[in-house]
Amino acid sequence: MVHFIGAGPGAEDLITVRGAKLLGEADVIIYAGSLVNPALLNYKKESCAVYDSASMTLEQVIEVMRDTEARGGMTVRLHTGDPSLYGAIREQMDELDKLGIGYDVTPGVSSFSGAAAALCAEYTLPEVSQSVIITRMAGRTPVPEGEELRKMASHGCTMVLFLSTGLLEDVEQELAAGGYAPDTPAAIVYKATWPEQRVYRCTVSTLAKTARENQVTKTALITIGHFLGDDYERSKLYDPTFTHEFREASK
Ligand code: SAH
């Protein structure tokens, strides 16, 4: 059996209880050493073998899983954040299907949640934005037609950009082309929830400069939108004049 596990955004106590338990039972752990906090390996048992996938190909990863399975062992494949986002798990699962090896997925706290926590922010403020677009700037990995950043930006809603910290000049241009005013609030969150977490508040026109001045080149998320501003409407849910399923409005 192979367990794909979301490691969470960084802090070692932000893995799920289920994920930590499976880490403790694993005979082999393959983890993304470039992004997963190595402190998470503290959960493993002593006899567990550890592989860092940073220098491995898909074929090599599958090879380790197959060998472990052949010996009757259990593999944990530890991915940063939540594996469903930019996790490259689909291709592994398809290979495991071909080999008849069973697997399941344990979700994790994505770094976009970690970034909101670092900012003490709410992405979906009433009358400000009720949607979050999670995307990336096209780089060496292209984005499909129709998902160009400028098109995504045209909605004007909350945006969270993964994998884009090295392309911030382009990001600024695309956001402007999509209609964000230069002074729209933005923030760069570096290593959210890690001990070395840093938060830089800026605007869409100062993203590149802010990253440069603070030497942020990777492991960061770019958040954009007026959820970072001061204006919003309070929620209906907790409004005393609003009746809903669980509460009568007070007179
Ligand atoms: N599955 C992961 C994302 C993997 S893609 C998740 O759910 O978070 C890797 C990118 O995620 C990095 O380039 C960076 O943009 C972002 N990232 C991962 N961990 C981060 C963290 N702790 N703080 C800020 N950005 C992070």
Report yes or no on 159 lying in a domain.
Answer: yes
**Per-residue pLDDT tens for 130-145?**
999 999 999 888 999 9
Q: Does residue 71 surpass a pLDDT of 80?
A: yes
Decide: 111 in ligand 1 pocket, CB within 6 A. yes
Decide: 226 in ligand 1 pocket, CB within 6 A. no
- The boundaries of the domain holding residue 63 are 2-106
Question: Where residue 157 falls among pLDDT bands split at 50, 70, 90?
Answer: very high
Q: Does residue 232 surpass a pLDDT of 90?
A: no
In total, how many domains does the chain have? 2
Q: Does one domain contain both 88 and 21? A: yes
Q: Does one domain contain both 115 and 224? A: yes
Q: Does one domain contain both 102 and 122? A: no
Decide: 85 in ligand 1 pocket, CB within 6 A. yes
Q: Are 112 and 161 in contact, with CB atoms under 8 Å apart?
A: no
Q: How far is the CA of 25 from the centre of ligand 1 (A)?
A: 26
Question: Where residue 231 falls among pLDDT bands split at 50, 70, 90?
Answer: confident
Atom nearest to 85 CA in ligand 1: 1
Decide: 10 in ligand 1 pocket, CB within 6 A. yes
Kindly write down the DSSP assignment for every residue of 88-131, as one continuous string.
--HHHHHHHHHHT--EEEE----HHHHHHHHHT--S--TTT-S-
What is the rounded CA–CA span in Å between residue 202 and residue 124? 19
pLDDT for 103 equals 98
Least confident of 66-75, 160-169, 232-241: 232-241
Q: Does residue 3 surpass a pLDDT of 90?
A: yes
Report yes or no on 98 lying in a domain.
Answer: yes
Q: Domain containing 208 — which CATH number?
A: 3.30.950.10
pLDDT for 205 equals 98
